[in-house]
Amino acid sequence: MHIQCSVAILLAYLRPWSVKKRRGAKGFPVTFIFLLLLCRPSLATLVICITGNDAIYVASDSLVTPGYGEPFRSPKIFCVSNSCCFYMTGFGGACIKNATTGKVSSSLATDLQEICASVSVKSDPIEMRVEDVISQFQSKHKESFNKMISAGETNANGITHVGVMGYSDSRKFFFGSEYVFDGTNASVTQNNIGNKGVLTNAGPFTFTGENNFLSSLLQDAKLMRELPSDDFRQTVQDIWMKTTVSQERMKSCILEMFTLQEKHAIALRYDQHVIGGPYVIYKITKDKTIEIN
């Protein structure tokens, strides 16, 4: 993973960050001071989504490597209801360093996480929650991109992809969409996955971010013969044929995808940026979402 950051824009300022007290937690809200570094961390990550067996599996890597300093880990999947999650790839805003703990995070990933947490407690239908998240994130994205431009980074495109996968209880189907936020443009482009966002009308595999290698692998008989394991090939075939695949087999298949991506994507010149664990896998069903790592 490569993150461009010019020396001229390594400007830092202290930013107060209020952390609200969680429900049921003891004590008082605490205010931390973060060091915000105005650079351009491109998450350049990989998100894998697989549908099957009345469930959606959403998985991501965790690695972010800034243009300076040590790589750090950042969550990139966030739940907004019992059966719906958001994920993000691409431009991640600035790197935020906690002045107390030294922990570094991506500003836009943090923004998306907080937005999803605030919307998750609402009782609105999932369709309204999705619109709420997208609207709030659009403002945060524009703010982050404008700060970067003001700091002198004029070559960044500031493009962030935010995806959503879930189950609509009112419409009784699994749905998926991806939204493209362009910092040079106030509009947001929505791309439905499947016909009108209905996942049963789409193929079972969706790759976002560093997606060229895995997309090619599943369509190239020679690569499929030479690179993955026999179990992987059988599981992929069963998924395509809509045969029942156990949770453990699905998990093994996803983890092997990440392993194959790490080993071959750059070496074979399909993708440009590295990925790294720990890998996070969520299983979304009609009534709950669980992490199956």
26: CATH: 3.60.20.10
Q: What span, in angstroms and rounded, lies between the C-alpha atoms of 260 and 225?
A: 13
Range of the domain at 101: 7-291
- Whether 243 is covered by a domain: the verdict is yes
- Whether 158 is covered by a domain: the verdict is yes
- Whether 192 is covered by a domain: the verdict is yes
- Whether 27 is covered by a domain: the verdict is yes
- Whether 148 is covered by a domain: the verdict is yes
Strand partners, 205: 50
Asked if residue 71 lies in contact with residue 42, where contact means CB atoms within 8 angstroms, the answer is no
Tell me the Ramachandran region of residue 135: left when phi exceeds 0, alpha when psi lies from -120 to 50, beta otherwise.
alpha
Average pLDDT across the chain, whole number: 83
Give the model's pLDDT for residue 41: 53
Parts of the chain with a pLDDT under 70 = 1-44, 65-69, 152-157, 184-186, 196, 201
- Whether 75 is covered by a domain: the verdict is yes
Helical segments of the chain, H only: 107-120, 126-150, 212-217, 221-226, 230-240, 247-264
Q: What is the pLDDT of residues 176-185, one digit of tens each?
A: 999 999 876 6
Nearest to 47 by CA among 290, 293, 273, 258: 258
Q: What span, in angstroms and rounded, lies between the C-alpha atoms of 71 and 56?
A: 30
> How many structural domains compose the chain?
1
Give the model's pLDDT for residue 70: 72
Predicted TM-score (pTM) of this structure: 0.84
- Whether 1 is covered by a domain: the verdict is no
- Whether 2 is covered by a domain: the verdict is no
Give the model's pLDDT for residue 250: 97
